Chains A and B, each alone.
Chain A
Amino acid sequence: MIVLLGVLVVVLGFATRRNPLLVVGAAGIVTGLLGGLSPQRVLAAFGTGFASSRAVTIFVITLPVIGLLERHGLQEQARRIVTRFAGLTAGRFLALYLLLRQIAAAVGLNNVFGHAQTVRPLAAPMAEGAAERRLGPLPEKAREKVRSFAASADNVGLFFGEDVFLAVGSILLITGFVNTTYQTHLEPLDLALWAIPTALCALAVHGWRLLRLDRTLERAVAADREEAVK
């Protein structure tokens, strides 16, 4: 039971908004030591964990070119170009992004879209531009909301698209674990087919919420104007 203290450290740390690096580092040390690892093995675990998870940081490779283009006005241009499409609102644009992201993930193209390569330089400024065209300058809160929903469209599209693809990590994890543990034979195709109903639900639920975003923004902007008048 005592190893669960590490989980408690994480929950308390995040709840009291301590620096996440310290929280996670402390939780790792506490859990490792309580779980009977020697200090040296805890240290080695941090080393191997870092080395084998370098893939999640690979997006840094895109930052120099994205930074260069942003200095030359990429975000401004992205904002400008959406204003040419009448009828394209922030919500409709992000719903479209969600659909594209989900389809791309469903055919195995996970890294074609992403937070560093498409959300920050393109999708978020385009959504902002579309909102500004309709509502004028956005107050701080509304701007944060548009950006947060842009990030959410990318995540929801990825998570509930990728499992429809056969060769994705989570499907292979399921077949690998079940086939070796229970000596049975599951086909990746059967699992991928069963991911489709939830994928459709995700598109419907989050797509609907993205379309509703326009109304939320309208209200936020109106409230902000009233505040300014007072």
Chain B
Amino acid sequence: MIKAEWFYWLVGLIFLVMAVQMLRDRTNPKRYGTAAFWGLLGLGFVYGTWVADKSAPAEPLGAAVLAMVCLAGFGFTGRGRGTAATPEQREASAARWGGRLFVPALTIPVVALLCAVGVKRLSVGGEPVLQKGSETILGLGIGAVVALVVGMVMLREKKLSAPLHAGRSMLESMGWAMLLPQLLATLGTIFSVSGVGEQVRRITTAVLPDHSLYVAVAVYCVGMFLFTVVMGNGFAAFPVMTAAVGWPVLVVQEHGSAPAVLAIGMLAGFCGTLVTPMAANFNVVPAALLELKDQYGPIKAQLPTAVALLGCNIVIMALFAF
């Protein structure tokens, strides 16, 4: 059985190899801090396997995470000049290889697609080939590995260090943004363990006026939206807002259709995800990946859509759920 953990180890290994490359990169004025950050990240990916199955203590990993936060947060990381090809070289190469360059690039989505619809159903000796529940991650991982092989063969690139160097300069330009999504997931857990949700529920119930259906619909949707903005994803907001307003008021008291109320409530939360830097993997990491000067560029592009769709959700729920 192909397991998700194998690919986490592979990602960890990639980080570690890149950390060694960074350590030896004299064009980077902060090479020690940079190498330490990515090295810790790589080790954390591997060690995380045993933290996730609870066979190793989580505290050392927590300390490593805080060390990474300090390294990147206080500016001990930087980037080398890299050995990127000049625009002229890239143009010449594009002219030489032409449309064939798309073959490895499209291999990733095609293999991911095949894994998601085909390989998922295969099993050998009664055991599924792909670990159950992780098929989409595995599809992406397998697709990337296959694409790398296809790309290296096609481009006649013999040294594995070439793609790693190329990937490293992308990582260095993203920097701290890489760690943010995982750190935010942690914050979400701490918020729920510490009872932040319960406090928000109390406040919402206190401001909710009695017996006004449309106000309650708006409070549920806007509450999902705002809570999601604060927490970074709708999953944390949903149980809290549903326990406060969605179920007791909209479903039980006003006899709303439960599937409609809850599905649309969740989508109101998704509107919040579009506008919050807390949803770093959707909003901040892409800004870094696309090398935008304004790290809030994607959020600004999404803000009007998010507000309009929040309005749509309120109207759809008010019209069709009761």
Residues of A within 8 A of B (CB): 1, 3-4, 6-7, 10-11, 14, 19-22, 24-25, 27-28, 31-32, 34-37, 40, 42-78, 80-81, 108-122, 124, 140, 144-145, 147-152, 154-156, 158-160, 163, 169-171, 173-174, 177-178, 181-182, 184, 186-187, 190-195, 197-198, 201-202, 205-206, 209
Q: With A25-B73, A53-B181, A110-B136 known to touch, is A46 a contact of B65 (CB < 8 Å)?
A: yes
State how many angstroms separate the Cβ of B10 from the closest Cβ of chain A. Answer: 6
Q: Are B298's CB and A56's CB within 8 A?
A: no
A-B contact list, 27 entries, CB within 8 Å: A3-B194, A24-B184, A28-B183, A35-B193, A43-B58, A43-B66, A45-B62, A47-B62, A48-B189, A56-B181, A58-B137, A58-B141, A65-B105, A65-B151, A68-B148, A69-B105, A71-B84, A74-B105, A119-B290, A144-B297, A145-B297, A156-B302, A159-B270, A163-B267, A178-B242, A181-B243, A193-B259
Contacts of A11 in B (CB 8 A): 230
Q: Which of A1, A35, A47 has the most CB of B within 10 A?
A: A47
CA distance A58 to B165 in the complex (A): 18
Q: Are A62's CB and B144's CB within 8 A?
A: yes
**Is B208 engaged at the interface, CB distance under 8 Å to the other chain?**
no
Contacts of A3 in B (CB 8 A): 194-196, 199
Residues of B within 8 A of A (CB): 4, 7-8, 10-11, 14-15, 44-45, 47-49, 51-52, 57-66, 68-69, 72-74, 84-85, 87, 89-99, 101-102, 104-105, 108-109, 112-113, 116-117, 136-137, 139-141, 143-145, 147-148, 151-152, 155, 157, 162-171, 176-191, 193-196, 199-200, 230, 234-235, 238-239, 242-243, 247, 258-260, 262-264, 266-267, 270, 273-274, 277-278, 280-287, 289-290, 292-294, 297-298, 300-302, 304-305, 308-309, 312-313, 316, 320
Contacts of B105 in A (CB 8 A): 65-66, 69, 74, 121-122
Is chain B's binding surface mostly helix, strand, loop or mixed? helix
State how many angstroms separate the Cβ of B191 from the closest Cβ of chain A. Answer: 6
State how many angstroms separate the Cβ of B172 from the closest Cβ of chain A. Answer: 11
Contacts of A147 in B (CB 8 A): 290, 292, 297
Q: With A20-B280, A24-B184, A24-B187 known to touch, is A50 a contact of B108 (CB < 8 Å)?
A: no
Q: Are B11's CB and A68's CB within 8 A?
A: no
CA distance A34 to B136 in the complex (A): 38
9 further interface pairs, Cβ-Cβ under 8 Å (given A45-B62, A62-B143, A198-B309): A3-B194, A21-B179, A43-B66, A45-B189, A47-B51, A57-B45, A60-B15, A66-B170, A120-B289
